[in-house]
Amino acid sequence: MSYIKDNFLLSDGFAEKLYFSYAKDMPIIDYHCHLSERQIAENKKFNDIYDIWLSGDHYKWRLMRNYGVSEDYITGNKSNREKFKAYCATLGSAFGNPLYHWSQLELQEFFGCEVEINEKNADAIWECCNNYISSHGVTPQSLIERSNVTHVFTTNEVFDDLSVFDEISGKGYRFRVCPSYRADKMVNIEAEDYNVYISKLGAVKDLNDFENRLETRLKEFLHAGAKASDLSLQRVYPVSERETAEKIFAKRRKGDRVTAAEAEQFKGYLTYYLFKLFAKHGICAELHIGAMRNNNSAMLKKIGPDTGYDSIADDNSIYCMSRLFDRLNSENSLPKTIVFNLNPKMNTEIMTLIGCFQSDEARGKIQYGPAWWFLDNKVGMRKHLQDLTATGHIGAFIGMLTDSRSFLSYPRHHYFRRILCNYFGEMMSKGEMTSDIEFVGNVVKDICYNNAINYFGGK
């Protein structure tokens, strides 16, 4: 039987009461993920547990590589069953890793399988889950609805075809799927295929034309239901003058390479332009910083990006972020912003900075986003909550996200909710905060769902 019991991560009666009476059954708004909107629209039945659980999930791939598993069993030519068994063998001794918990929760919540995940149980788990998939016709729709999700914000390139969202809206699902305006490929001017990406917007002549097309596309995203944008930077760059950005853009459009310094100047300007655009059209900016990407060039060439070869960067964005926010704020052009930070050393620096730019435009207008990617584990979540309560206002927090490519990732919300309830429960037991369970419970409900719904513009 599984080691996960009803009181998993809940250390006292306060924590249990908060979780089971207030947090557990709250709906989910998944305001940042990498699920495929095309898969959601097609809603095809999954073939087997590998198809849902391991295909495309670089969190799991990375763990397997750390255990010395051959790439043949990760992204190679081994069968789905062989890859699944290799993951089970890996997970058996990965004590404390969030996947050790998440994967067990996923099996229990979606398949009713309470067998501990390890090498000896792999065959039994394979049969149990596949029998469930076969008999219940498991599809993306069924998994999302079973998880009580009301909104899914997918991540879409600026040039993506948005017609699929109309297709989804006509299917009568019990949840909404909205695109998020992802501008990374527009910003990363040094990329080999940069001009290929720009050409997807049409015959872009110059920076002015480029900016107009970016705004036109944003309007199309808004028409498709977009509530958020998405931009990922290793760090925030100084805002350069528009004339400088014009020259750099023209140089790159001619097919010439740009220097590292020129790339940073262009990124600084375009980040500023995009934030002004988001404020103009009332869309939230989701800013991700602190990821150092594609460290292994050999594997990048072999299997491409987003395959488990990124890490935490040590770049310090705090001064440039301050100057960016201050300039935007002075121009009345600072949008609602969620800052996702991947380097935990910067938690308090960023938390105290965003406190300088709040307003009554929204409760927690500038959000310190939840523990993200390498930090969405028990240690990272708890540190996030500690830093948020110490230097911000946890009652305004918009809660957890999945940031996932897997339709089975929604138990991560329950994982977070248990940690949140335990955090409050411990303080209540020690007499460090009110013991009014109903009052605290309503704050928990706000953090789990209500704050996010209000932040993104209501139901």
Three-state SS string over 294-345 comes to CCCHHHHHHHCCCCCCCEECCCCCHHHHHHHHHHHHHCCCCCCEEEEECCHH
**Rounded Cα distance, 434 and 82, in Å:** 52
Q: Mark 157-169 as b/e (b = at least 16 C-beta within 10 Å).
A: bbebebebbeebe
pLDDT at 458: 67
The tokens for 179 are 């695109």
CB 146 within 8 A of CB 28: no
Q: Which residue has 């930077």 as its token pair?
A: 233
CB 245 within 8 A of CB 270: yes
pLDDT over 90, % of the chain: 97
Spatial distance between the Cα atoms of 58 and 46, rounded to a whole number of angstroms: 19
Residue 8 clears pLDDT 90, i.e. is over it: yes
**Rounded to an integer, what distance in angstroms lies between the CA atom of residue 171 and that of residue 42?**
10
Find the mean pLDDT for residues 200-228. 97
Q: Please say whether the dihedral angle defined by the alpha carbons of residues 187, 189, 191 and 193, taken in this order, is positive or negative.
A: positive
pLDDT of residue 1: 76
Q: What is the DSSP string of 67-86?
A: TT--GGGTTSSS-HHHHHHH
Cα-based torsion angle of the residue sequence 34, 35, 41, 47 in order, rounded to the nearest 10 degrees = 150
Q: How confident is the model at residue 272 (pLDDT cuts 50, 70, 90)?
A: very high
Cα–Cα distance for residue pair 139/225, rounded to 1 Å: 23
For the chain, give the percent of residues with pLDDT over 70: 100
* Structure confidence by residue, pLDDT tens digits, 63-103: 999 999 999 999 999 999 999 999 999 999 999 999 999 99
Q: What is the pTM of this model?
A: 0.96
Structure confidence by residue, pLDDT tens digits, 288-317: 999 999 999 999 999 999 899 999 999 989
Q: Would residue 240 be called left, alpha or beta, if left means φ above 0 and alpha means ψ between -120 and 50 degrees?
A: beta
pLDDT of residue 457: 86
Q: What's the rounded mean pLDDT across residues 45-64?
A: 93
pLDDT band at 2 (very low <50, low <70, confident <90, very high): confident
Q: What is the mean pLDDT of residues 35-52?
A: 96
Q: Which residue has the tokens 């990760």?
A: 74
Q: What is the pLDDT of residues 114-136, one digit of tens each?
A: 999 999 999 999 999 999 999 99
DSSP strand pairing (291-292 vs 311-312): antiparallel
User: Which parts of 308-436 fold into alpha helices (H)?
Assistant: 318-330, 347-354, 378-391, 411-429
Q: Which helix (H) or strand (E) covers residue 292, if one does?
A: strand 291-292
The string of pLDDT tens digits covering residues 404-445 is 989 999 999 999 999 999 999 999 999 999 999 999 999 999
Q: How does the average pLDDT of the chain come out, rounded?
A: 96
CA distance 66 to 386: 29
pLDDT of 237 reads: 97
